[in-house]
């Protein structure tokens, strides 16, 4: 689990095929203190398992599913990436709960400067619009951001100067592709509301619209 607060950037120094997947070697622009072999590290928002860890280098295996769902397959040697180590229970939750399981790749429709800030507009992949709400959270290439506005086809964010500097968003241009992970909570709520009634459930089907209305949550 991650928070979407990017620790730093890194660079792909090696990329090779491995069966139907790939292997990347990455060089972060920061030292990996107390590294643990097999720990999770988010690369452009994709949760991957780090191995052969050194202070300034580590390797990850990228599965066919990750290549199909994300923009990692389009990266090449020399490409920059956002990096975040996994959340510890003692850490501050400065962003929001990010699983590192990317939902889709989105395209930058518009980039507009607003003084020192930048407003981005992104296209929404089919089926994801219902999970994106105004002032809700979303992860873009692993960066936790707040949705400024949205409709059925696009959503916009406004990025502060600090985030533009420490993440890849400062270099993102119109037409570029980014990894999108919508807020995890919305998907769990939807799953519970769509669950079929279970006669063995003491709550007679669990949480559903009728349950919410009966307890005053849905009037």
Residues 40 and 110 in one domain: no
Least confident of 68-77, 145-154, 200-209: 200-209
CATH of the domain at 61: 2.40.30.20
20 and 79 inside one domain:
yes
Do 79 and 127 fall into the same domain?
no
Task: Provide the pLDDT for residue 219.
Answer: 60
Question: Phi, psi at residue 143, to the nearest 5°?
Answer: -95, 125
Q: Tell me the sheet residues that pair with 113.
A: 118
Quick one: pLDDT band at residue 207, thresholds 50, 70, 90? Answer: low
CB-based burial, 173-201: b 16+ in 10 Å, e otherwise = eeebbbbbbbbbeeeeeeeeeeeeeeeee
Residue 19 Ramachandran class (φ > 0 left, ψ -120 to 50 alpha, else beta):
left
Q: Has residue 114 been placed in a domain?
A: yes
Q: Give domain status of residue 207, yes or no.
A: no
Q: Which residues pair with 60 in a beta bridge?
A: 24, 50
In this prediction, residue 71 carries a pLDDT of: 96
Question: What's the predicted TM-score (pTM) here?
Answer: 0.87
Please state the separation of Cα 152 from the chain's center in Å: 20
Task: Identify whether 48 is part of a domain.
Answer: yes
Assigned domain for 142 exists: yes
Per residue in 16-45, pLDDT (tens digit) is 999 999 999 999 999 888 888 999 999 999
Q: Are residues 125 and 164 in the same domain?
A: yes
Within-domain flag for 19:
yes
Rounded distance between C-alpha atoms, residue 203 and residue 217, angstroms: 16
**pLDDT tens-digit readout, 93-147:** 889 999 999 999 999 999 999 999 999 999 999 899 999 999 999 999 999 999 9
Residue 52 sits in the same domain as residue 114:
no
> Residue 201 pLDDT more than 60?
no
Q: What percent of the chain has pLDDT over 70?
A: 93
Parallel, antiparallel, or unpaired: how do β-strands 40-43 and 8-18 relate? unpaired
| pLDDT over 60 (residue 200) | no
Same domain, residue pair 79 and 38: yes
Query: Which domain does 180 fall in, by range?
Result: 104-186
Are 171 and 118 in a shared domain? Answer: yes
Q: What share of the chain is helix, strand, coil (3-state, %, to 5)?
A: 20, 40, 45
Confidence of residue 192 (pLDDT cuts 50, 70, 90): confident
Is the CB of residue 151 less than 8 Å from the CB of residue 130? no
Is residue 205 very low, low, confident or very high in pLDDT (cuts 50, 70, 90)?
Answer: low
Tell whether the model's pLDDT for residue 54 goes beyond 90. Answer: no
Tell which wins on pLDDT, 207 or 85. Answer: 85
Helix (H) or strand (E) holding 66: helix 64-69
Q: Read off the pLDDT of residues 155-175 as tens digits, 9 standing for 90 and up.
A: 999 999 999 999 999 999 999
Residue 117 lies in a domain: yes
Residues 80 and 108 both lie in one domain? no
| Domain co-membership, 72 together with 119 | no
Q: Decide if 181 is inside a domain.
A: yes
Mean pLDDT of the chain: 91
Please give the tally of structural domains in the chain: 2
Q: Is residue 21 part of a domain?
A: yes
Q: What angle do CA 33, 37, 40 make, to 5 degrees?
A: 80
Which uninterrupted H or E stretch holds 162? helix 161-166
pLDDT at 33: 81
Residue that terminates a domain, selected from 58, 85, 112: 85
Judgement on whether residues 81 and 108 belong to the same structural domain of the protein: no
pLDDT tier for residue 56 given thresholds of 50, 70 and 90: confident
Q: How confident is the model at residue 202 (pLDDT cuts 50, 70, 90)?
A: low
Which residue from 96, 99, 117, 118 is spatially nearest to 108, judged by alpha carbons?
118
């Amino acid at each position: 689990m991650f928070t979407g607060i990017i620790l730093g950037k890194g660079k792909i120094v090696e990329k090779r095929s491995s069966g139907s997947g790939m292997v990347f070697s990455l060089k972060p622009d920061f030292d990996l203190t107390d590294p643990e072999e097999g720990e999770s590290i988010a690369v452009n928002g994709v949760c991957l398992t780090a191995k052969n860890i050194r202070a300034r280098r580590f390797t990850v295996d990228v599965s066919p599913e990750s290549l199909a769902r994300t923009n990692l397959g389009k990266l090449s040697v020399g490409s920059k990436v956002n990096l975040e180590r996994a959340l510890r229970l003692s850490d501050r939750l400065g962003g929001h709960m990010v699983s590192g399981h990317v939902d889709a790749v989105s395209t930058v429709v518009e980039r507009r400067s607003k003084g020192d800030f930048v407003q981005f507009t992104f296209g929404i992949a089919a089926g994801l619009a219902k999970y994106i709400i105004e002032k809700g959270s979303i992860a873009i290439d692993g960066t936790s951001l707040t949705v400024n506005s949205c409709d059925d086809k696009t959503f916009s964010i406004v990025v502060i100067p600090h985030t533009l500097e420490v993440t890849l968003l400062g270099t993102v241009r119109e037409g570029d592709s980014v990894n999108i992970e919508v807020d995890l909570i919305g998907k769990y709520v939807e799953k519970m509301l769509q669950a079929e009634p279970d006669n063995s459930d003491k709550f007679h089907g669990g949480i559903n619209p009728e349950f919410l209305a009966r307890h005053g949550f849905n009037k």
